[in-house]
Amino acid sequence: MSKIQIENQGKVAVLTLNNGITNAINPELVKDLSEAFNNIRNQAKAMVLCGGTKFFSIGLDLPTLMKLDRSEMTDFWHKFNHLLFDLYTIPLPTVCAVSGHAVAGGNVLALVCDYRFGNADTKKIGLNEIRLGLPVPYLADMMLRQLVSERAATQMIYSGEFMSFSDAKKIGLIDETYTTETLKQHSVEKAAELSALQNQAFSAVKANRIEEIKTRYEKNWKSKNELFLDSWFSEPTQKMLKDAAQKF
């Protein structure tokens, strides 16, 4: 059974994470999301990315990933980051409906979209990698700094703390908040609105917006990914990750 559900609402493809309550990111989810994305990228006019109402995504599936050796983890990490890059650079409008907690890798997934609409309830978002001995992934770091002020991004990354969606809206991480019942529909409506724009013009404008990050990622992704993996397999970080995995 696929970990991704695909629903077409007019010209908008809605991709929903379907990997249990937490929507933890593991090799199977990355594979299924990559396949779903490839299925819709040349057919849809816009995309909405959704998750669950308790967790949009809890982030990396630590219990699963902690069993991988360096070669296996490298393969997963490259595939996950290339998927993020493909989602970020698609020349179509994209909206993320963040209905539940979006932490660590879940926050990273939300960053790839043009807009992020959040749940008005008491949900949290943030990047806690530093508390686990890890750097925020290179692409995510660049995307975050493009969205919010340099100071706000630095505070988020250095502190590793989670924030409410209302606080995330204040710094520009979340664009709008809606009720649980209306969040998905508002996201689809925004995507449909953007899809009505002249596609060639929209694609050119988006290409301008992402150009610097795209160029930097293509130049540095391999060395930056290796730095992340070095941290992942360091002895102090392995201990923190094992402790964190016990809480899943």
How does pLDDT run across 28-43, given as a tens digit for each residue?
999 999 999 999 998 9
- pLDDT confidence of residue 69: 98
Residue 158 domain-assigned (yes or no): yes
The letter for the amino acid at 185 is Q
Domain span at residue 30?
4-195
Of 110, 130, 118, the closest CA to residue 167 belongs to 118
- pLDDT confidence of residue 121: 82
Residue 147 domain-assigned (yes or no): yes
Per the document, the length of the chain is 248
Residue 145 domain-assigned (yes or no): yes
Helices (H) and strands (E) in the chain, counts: 10, 10
Q: At what angle do helices 70-89 and 138-147 cross, to 10 degrees?
A: 30
- pLDDT confidence of residue 122: 87
Residue numbers of the chain with a pLDDT score lower than 70: none
Q: What is the pTM of this model?
A: 0.95
User: Are 163 and 124 spatial neighbours (Cβ–Cβ below 8 Å)?
Assistant: yes
- pLDDT confidence of residue 248: 82
Radius of gyration (Cα) for the chain, nearest Å? 17
Residue 233 domain-assigned (yes or no): no
- pLDDT confidence of residue 152: 97
Residue 90 domain-assigned (yes or no): yes
> Would you state the structure tokens that stand for residue 171, as one six-digit string?
């710094």
Residue 79 domain-assigned (yes or no): yes
> Would you state the structure tokens that stand for residue 168, as one six-digit string?
């995330």
Contacts of 135 (CB under 8 A, 6+ apart): 129, 141, 227, 228, 231
The edge-to-edge listing of strands for the beta sheet with 55-57 is: 55-57, 101-103, 124-126, 162-164
Number of domains composing the chain: 1
- pLDDT confidence of residue 120: 83
Residue 246 domain-assigned (yes or no): no
Of 118, 121, 125, 119, the closest CA to residue 174 belongs to 118
- pLDDT confidence of residue 1: 81
- pLDDT confidence of residue 247: 84
Q: What is the CATH number of the domain that holds 29?
A: 3.90.226.10
Exposure string over 177-207, b if 16+ CB within 10 A, otherwise e? bbeeeebbebbbebbbebbeeeeeebeeebe
Residue 188 domain-assigned (yes or no): yes
